[in-house]
Amino acid sequence: MAQFTNQAALSYNGVRVLSNVTVGTLTEVLSVSKTVVEETYTTGGTLTYVVSLINSGSVALNDLTITDDLGGYPFGEGTLYPLTYVEGSVKQYLEGVLVASPVVAETTPLTFTGVGIPAGSEVILIYQATVTEYAPLGEGATIVNTVTASGDGVEATASATVNAENGPILDIVKSVSPIPVVDNGLLTYTFLIQNFGAEEATDAAKVVVSDTFNPVLTGLTAALDGVTLSPTTDYTYDEATGEFETVAGVITVPAATYSQDPDTGAYTVTPGSVTLTVSGTI
């Protein structure tokens, strides 16, 4: 609700007298708010947006167009979009009741047409978008996208901001060599641990690698990036069951680095990584 002020002037015989200041309020006929359900995003992830449209007037708004810019930003001579609409995801609610979905007139930027709001009512649109390769990555990165509702002589906008995931995002890939291995031969398991996040996985993250080797290994040794690990201090191993586990915090993984292609605008992730090797005789 906006506030406005006004003051009059009275002039006579070279004298100018000011009136009191009046204060009024202006209620917007159409108001829009926008929120995003998820707190953070990652490339390839899905975000859910909720757009609330309130008609505070006494006359229905029958033909509104709702446009979402999908966070588009200028790049070179064009525009890059960090979000892409998930086809068929839009749902429309009138006073909390599910009604027919609006028409998707365009997807880039996203445009819904034919949205109607009875007088004194609220319509809520809920839809999803996938995070594209053009979404900014790294510490402090955000996606800000704006929705505009217009038509029937009214217009209103609202924006929503979501932050890039900045914590560690870890993955692990296991391999074995040699293949095949002879009976009583030396077998080595290699674990590549990668961090796709913008934050290092320090000892506070309490990273643990566990495995149960079958067949059981004897004479087991372990190393992290070529540095020999110590039994009990750095890992535990049970030769009877084959259960192996590193001590929490022994493994730390550097943060990823990010770069944007100067030609295409696509972001590339170079994960931080460490390699755990475990060897023994079968």
Provide the pLDDT for residue 24.
Answer: 62
Supply the DSSP symbol for 251: B
- Position 56 in a domain: yes
**Domain count within the chain:** 2
- What does the alpha-carbon distance between residue 140 and residue 281 come to, in Å, rounded to a whole number? 48
Q: Residue 81: give its domain's CATH number.
A: 2.60.40.740
| Domain span including residue 267 | 170-281
pLDDT tens-digit map of 64-116: 999 999 999 999 999 999 999 999 999 999 999 999 999 999 999 999 999 99
Provide the pLDDT for residue 182.
Answer: 77
- Position 17 in a domain: no
Q: How far is CA 1 from CA 4, 61, 185, 192, in A?
A: 10, 19, 79, 57
- Position 92 in a domain: yes
pLDDT tens-digit map of 120-145: 999 999 999 999 999 999 989 999 99
Residues 81 and 144 in one domain: yes
- Position 234 in a domain: yes
Measured CA angle at 166 (ends 163, 167), to 5 deg: 135
Nearest one of 102, 121, 143, 128 to 52, comparing CA atoms: 121
User: 144: how many CB neighbours lie within 10 A of its CB?
Assistant: 12
Residues 53 and 156 in one domain: yes
pLDDT tens-digit map of 219-247: 999 999 999 999 999 999 999 999 999 99
Residue written as token pair 């009136």: 19
Supply the DSSP symbol for 204: G
Mean pLDDT is lowest, of 18-22, 102-106, 203-207, for 18-22
Half-sphere exposure of 94 (CA within 13 A, CB side): 14
- Position 14 in a domain: no
Confidence band, pLDDT 50/70/90 cuts, at residue 151: very high
Provide the pLDDT for residue 1.
Answer: 47
Mean pLDDT of the chain: 94
Confidence band, pLDDT 50/70/90 cuts, at residue 14: confident
pTM of the model: 0.79
Mean pLDDT of 52-72: 96
Residues 128 and 157 in one domain: yes
Domain endpoint, select from 109, 142, 164: 164
Residues 188 and 154 in one domain: no
Provide the pLDDT for residue 27.
Answer: 53
Residue written as token pair 């972001």: 267
Share of residues in the chain with pLDDT > 70 (%): 97
Give the 3-state secondary structure of residue 222: strand
How do beta strands 267-270 and 257-260 pair?
antiparallel
User: 34: how many CB neighbours lie within 10 A of its CB?
Assistant: 19
Q: How far is CA 17 from CA 11, 14, 20, 23, in A?
A: 6, 10, 10, 19
- Position 22 in a domain: no
pLDDT tens-digit map of 160-201: 999 999 899 999 999 999 988 777 889 999 999 999 999 999
- Position 15 in a domain: no
For the record, the structure tokens of 174 come out as 């296991």
- Position 137 in a domain: yes
